[in-house]
Amino acid sequence: MDDEVVQRVFQEGGRDYFQQQPSTSSSSSSSILQSLPLHVSFDHGYYLLVKSIQELREKKDGLVTVGIGGPSGSGKTSLAEKVASVIGCTVVSMENYRDGFDEGNDLDSIDFNTLVQNLEDLTKGKDTMIPVFDYQQKRRIGSKAIKSASSGVLIVDGTYALHAKLRSLLDIRVAVVGGVHFSLLSKVRYDIGDSCSLDYLIDSIFPLFRKHIEPDLHHAQIRINNSFVSSFREAIYKLKCRSELLVGDSAYVFQGNEPQTDNFIEMYLRPPSASEEARINDWIKVRQSGIRYYLSLGDQRIVDKIYIIRPKAEFEVGRMTLGGLLALGYTVVVSYKRASTSVNNDNVSLSLENIDTLGETFMVLRGMDRKTVGEKALGMGINGPWITKSYLELILERKGVPRLNSPPPLLNTSPTSNQERVVVTPRPIRVTTNIVTPLEDIAQPWTRSPTKSKMEPVLATWHFISSNPLHTNSSVVDFSHEATTDPASFRDTIKLAPMPDSCDLDRGLLLSVQAIQALLENKGLPVIVGIGGPSGSGKTSLAHKMANIVGCEVVSLESYYKSEQVKDFKYDDFSSLDLSLLSKNIGDIRNGRRTKVPIFDLETGARSGFKELEVSEDCGVIIFEGVYALHPDIRKSLDFWIAVVGGVHSHLISRVQRDKSRVGCFMSQNEIMMTVFPMFQQYIEPHLVHAHLKIRNDFDPVLSPESSLFVLKSNKQVAYQDILKILDSEKFCSSVQNFIDIYLRIPGIPTNGQLTESDCIRVRICEGRFALLIREPIREGNFIIQPKVDFDISISTVAGLLNLGYQAVAYIEASAYIYQDGKILIEVDHLQDAPSPYLQIKGVNKEAVAAAGSMLKLDGSYTTKSYLQIILEGLPAMERSSTGIYPQQAARLQELVEFIQSQGSSSASESSPCREVNPMEGILEEMQMRIKRLERWHTINTVLWTFLMSALVGYSLYQRKRQ
């Protein structure tokens, strides 16, 4: 379906390529505005944009131009930067084309003539000079050169990037709405109520939007609704203390590095309906830097021990937005000046900040990793005392909360026009991609829908309920008196009150940490958390993000596998867990004793040892995560229950539904769920409804730019010593993996007679486990860009896919040698049917991966073909079968399929822990033995190669010494 959407992007509006095509019909095709979905998510829009750029580059010569427009704070700049980081294109910001400064967002201040001239020069293959604007000096300070040959793609990023003066020069037009734009509208509507129409609020806060920005967004080919506002997924960790050093004497602190000085004015706006009491989470924070304004909704943060943890929650807005908020009745209750002198060193920012209202200087360390910030403070000998209060709290403690002024009355109707109608805040519009909605039939523009208007912008508060019969008549009880009289019985009788509604992943992460803090404050140590949900839902990622914030341990329930059950492929069966050992560990933790948690080796399918775990004042939280973490036999011993659904789990169901619909068979998600995940619906899902916090994970890592790996693949021979040279010896580790990849495909999908990986679902059998490799790779130059998604499943899921009509059409046996140092992963794959091994360099940093490839002298030898494509191309035409593999392998694949079906059906239905030995198990064992023989051959080859290279080096040194 995504490929069809990408094709529609090119059907109309292409700048050069499609204008050259001869017209095949006198009548024009349907409008692209009607054929595309109303809007897509940020991740999906990113994926569609990259695929569109790639396909257009293949179909036309010259530069591909992209315009990304939208209101301030919608996320268009983030999208442009993410696309540029993947495909290496040039981004031109319209902010540099100001010929003056009026109100920060005025259309008349943009020099469109220069921008149009620059675009025309680049599209004609000419080099050009683009201006550079300095906001501090409020003027254009120079220009910089852009060469037309430097990049095949140019992105224009700006509020007016889709203006009529530019649209004819753009190949792809992208509109981004949402983000802080929608959230601010929702916040203001919540604060003010229904006394004003939505249009009136928009005209007050964003006066240029409806007249100059919104009309252009309807001309976009890809429309993105960005619901991502602020998240602790990429939190900023801060340590703050008072400093006796003056800013002028900061050379000692900055250790000779060049410091950067900034001056800010920070203002806090109180809502017009606020009471006298200080609820700073309801206030809007505005930071002014020169002539630029940055806004964040509320003082959202987490305080854990000595750390202040904040999300990336600031967005740039225009000056008129601040004026509009003041006109609506918001009042500036606190304002202070902050002078900051900072320097960046080893991914940690060190700042000396002077607050004029307090008359004090503070030292602040900031970083993206909690441990790194703490280690930096220890290395510098900074021991505090640490301050966890914000500057706002320190000011309020000293001066008190300013008295509330009477806000100006709000008009019930808009004074702009008598014909303006009151627009009711709409619900989010959800349409399927195959429904055509004429633009004139859309009653409410998608560009101004505050999708969270019905949701309270302030996070809900956790409450406790009691199991004591004395409190049965009250749902929420004050336990302050009981906590002081009988702490032991108090801890046993109270528990968290479940949140009534589900929430998204970002909101759930914040609520989870706040629940843990509430439990620590009210019940004391320890706090034991359980995170349950289906495989691939995101529970493991959530657990580790929580642990990074709270600073605690995560224990996977996979560590408690019984080896005899694992050998039967029963990874999703509750009986596969060593429940007695788990209960003992939880009991020891509960009573403050040291306990030994098992370590399970998936390669051998057996327990390999134990690690010691102890709850202390430093780490009073333990998180258990796993499919059955909320099973009644487990959750009764836990303090906090979290259920997570969605993620790749939902992606697979949608993928199967898409494949079935392509062959004319429409199935409901429930039917697919019952077939593909029978264990989940019967044994896992019923337990999730009892969770204190229910999280729906709409984040799709398969299509997300947040989880991309950059891969370079080559079949050039590289010596083992050369690999060691480019990896960090202190962090070096290696491992071996033997795997079998099976490709499943729905028969009937139209193809060109070729088997392609995009039409198949790949199932990997590795170390006795089954995993789905759901990947939508993007190929850019020599790079294969793919998400980091390995979705563990049970054998019953594979059998369910086969029962739905998928057929095994190919398989690959391989042995992989993996070398890594935490930054770069080098994988040497020996494919059974390939004459030579293939080397893959993987990493999240594109430049680091490219540098590693150059050091290994792989330039010019890269390929972006998949292993399936490589194997099929190596087959002689006479020996190819309908399945795309060797005829002698077809029988072996069929036997493997029959084994999966028989084993999968028995694991889903049988209740007895024992089963008959199936002779088909020999197939897997035989394959593993063949791969191990290949592994031994490779080891011998490596040793011989090492001796040969050592001899050659020694001989050359001997000859040089003689000369």
Query: Can you name the residues that pair with 139 across neighbouring β-strands?
Result: 134
Domain spanning 3-12+35-226 has what CATH number?
A: 3.40.50.300
- Give residue 796's pLDDT band: very low, low, confident or very high (50, 70, 90): confident
- Give residue 101's pLDDT band: very low, low, confident or very high (50, 70, 90): low
Label each residue of 663-732 as H, E or C.
CCCCCCHHHHHHHHCHHHHHHHHHHHCCCCEEEEECCCCCCCHHHEEEEEEECCCCCHHHHHHHCCCCCC
Report whether 339 contacts 260 (CB < 8 A): no
Distance CA 513, CA 521 (A): 12
> Which of these ranges, 107-116, 873-882, 918-927, 945-954, has the smallest mean pLDDT?
918-927
Pairing of strands 331-345, 284-289: unpaired
Pairing of strands 693-697, 222-226: unpaired
Distance CA 656, CA 654 (A): 5
pLDDT, tens digit (0-9, with 9 covering 90-100), for 330-381:
988 899 999 999 888 778 889 999 999 999 999 999 998 888 898 888 888 8
3-state secondary structure of 430: coil
pLDDT, tens digit (0-9, with 9 covering 90-100), for 258-269:
788 889 999 999
pLDDT, tens digit (0-9, with 9 covering 90-100), for 602-660:
767 778 888 888 887 777 899 999 999 999 999 999 999 999 998 888 888 888 988 88
Does residue 883 carry a pLDDT above 70?
no
Q: Which CATH superfamily groups domain 235-247+256-399?
A: Hypothetical Protein Pfu-838710-001 (2.40.320.10)
- Give residue 937's pLDDT band: very low, low, confident or very high (50, 70, 90): low
Distance CA 270, CA 332 (A): 6
223 Cβ contact partners less than 8 Å away, ≥ 6 residues apart: 36, 37, 38, 39, 40, 45, 174, 175, 177, 217, 446
3-state secondary structure of 901: helix
Cα 597–chain centre separation: 30
- Give residue 12's pLDDT band: very low, low, confident or very high (50, 70, 90): very low
Q: Considering the chain, what is the average pLDDT of its residues? A: 78
Q: Does domain 493-696 have CATH number 3.40.50.300?
A: yes
Distance CA 504, CA 452 (A): 12
In this structure, is the dihedral angle defined by the CA atoms of residues 891, 896, 897 and 903, taken in order, positive or negative? positive
- Give residue 440's pLDDT band: very low, low, confident or very high (50, 70, 90): very low
Give pLDDT, residue 8: 56
Cα 680–chain centre separation: 25
Report whether 146 contacts 128 (CB < 8 A): yes
Cα 529–chain centre separation: 23
In this structure, is the dihedral angle defined by the CA atoms of residues 851, 853, 857 and 863, taken in order, positive or negative? negative
Query: Can you name the residues that pair with 239 across neighbouring β-strands?
Result: 365
Helix-strand-coil split of the chain, %, nearest 5: 35, 25, 40
Residue whose structure tokens are 């050379």: 251
Q: Does domain 709-905 have CATH number 3.30.1490.120?
A: no
Does residue 895 carry a pLDDT above 70?
yes
Q: Do domains 3-12+35-226 and 493-696 have the same CATH topology?
A: yes
Write the DSSP string, 2-57.
HHHHHHHHHHS--SSTTTSSPPS-SSPPPPHHHHS-S-B-HHHHHHHHHHHHHHHH
Does residue 907 carry a pLDDT above 50?
yes
Q: What percentage of the chain has pLDDT greater than the value 70?
A: 76
Does residue 954 carry a pLDDT above 50?
yes
Task: Read off φ and ψ for residue 122, nearest 5 degrees.
Answer: -70, -40
Rounded-to-10 torsion of CA 52, 56, 58, 62: -140
Distance CA 653, CA 659 (A): 10
Does residue 699 carry a pLDDT above 80?
no
Per the document, the length of the chain is 963
Report whether 325 contacts 262 (CB < 8 A): no
DSSP state of 247: G
Report whether 628 contacts 574 (CB < 8 A): yes
- The H or E element that residue 393 is part of is helix 391-399
Query: Can you name the residues that pair with 598 across neighbouring β-strands?
Result: 610
Cis, bond preceding 37 (omega within 30 deg of 0): no
> Which of these ranges, 21-35, 531-545, 800-814, 943-957, has the smallest mean pLDDT?
21-35
DSSP state of 227: -
Give pLDDT, residue 265: 93
Task: Read off φ and ψ for residue 625, nearest 5 degrees.
Answer: -125, 140
Query: Most confidently modeled of 273-282, 695-704, 792-801, 923-932?
Result: 792-801
Does residue 274 carry a pLDDT above 70?
no
Give pLDDT, residue 240: 93
Distance CA 593, CA 613 (A): 9
**Tokens, residue 552:** 């605690």
Cα 102–chain centre separation: 37
Residue whose structure tokens are 């609506």: 328
* Residue spans of alpha helices (H) in 124-269: 164-167, 179-192, 198-205, 214-217, 251-254
**Tokens, residue 108:** 């008349």
Give pLDDT, residue 383: 82
Report whether 136 contacts 144 (CB < 8 A): no
Residue whose structure tokens are 């059974």: 832
pLDDT, tens digit (0-9, with 9 covering 90-100), for 386-417:
999 999 989 988 888 776 655 444 444 444 44
DSSP state of 210: I
pLDDT, tens digit (0-9, with 9 covering 90-100), for 49-84:
888 888 888 887 888 999 999 988 888 888 998 888
> Which of these ranges, 275-289, 471-485, 516-530, 711-725, has the smallest mean pLDDT?
471-485
3-state secondary structure of 274: coil
**Range 940-963 average pLDDT:** 73
Give pLDDT, residue 255: 58
Report whether 365 contacts 239 (CB < 8 A): yes
pLDDT, tens digit (0-9, with 9 covering 90-100), for 665-694:
888 888 888 888 888 888 888 999 999 999
Distance CA 708, CA 503 (A): 25
Cis, bond preceding 385 (omega within 30 deg of 0): yes
Does residue 869 carry a pLDDT above 90?
no
3-state secondary structure of 136: coil
Distance CA 799, CA 936 (A): 33
Q: How far is CA 510 from CA 74, 489, 690, in A?
A: 22, 29, 20
Give pLDDT, residue 582: 94
> Which of these ranges, 154-163, 240-249, 572-581, 818-827, has the smallest mean pLDDT?
240-249
Pairing of strands 527-532, 553-556: unpaired
- Give residue 102's pLDDT band: very low, low, confident or very high (50, 70, 90): low
Burial class (CB in 10 A: 0-12, 13-18, 19+), 254: middle
Q: Residue 37: which of 349, 430, 348, 508 has the closest Cα?
A: 430
Q: What percentage of the chain has pLDDT greater than the value 90?
A: 22
Computed over its alpha carbons, how large is the radius of gyration of the chain?
A: 30
548 Cβ contact partners less than 8 Å away, ≥ 6 residues apart: 235, 369, 370
3-state secondary structure of 802: helix
Distance CA 210, CA 207 (A): 7
Distance CA 693, CA 699 (A): 17
Does residue 913 carry a pLDDT above 50?
no
**Tokens, residue 59:** 């179909």
The amino acid at residue 946 is: T
Domain boundaries, the chain: 3-12+35-226, 235-247+256-399, 493-696, 709-905
**Tokens, residue 276:** 């006298």
- Give residue 935's pLDDT band: very low, low, confident or very high (50, 70, 90): low
Q: How far is CA 848 from CA 575, 782, 844, in A?
A: 45, 14, 8
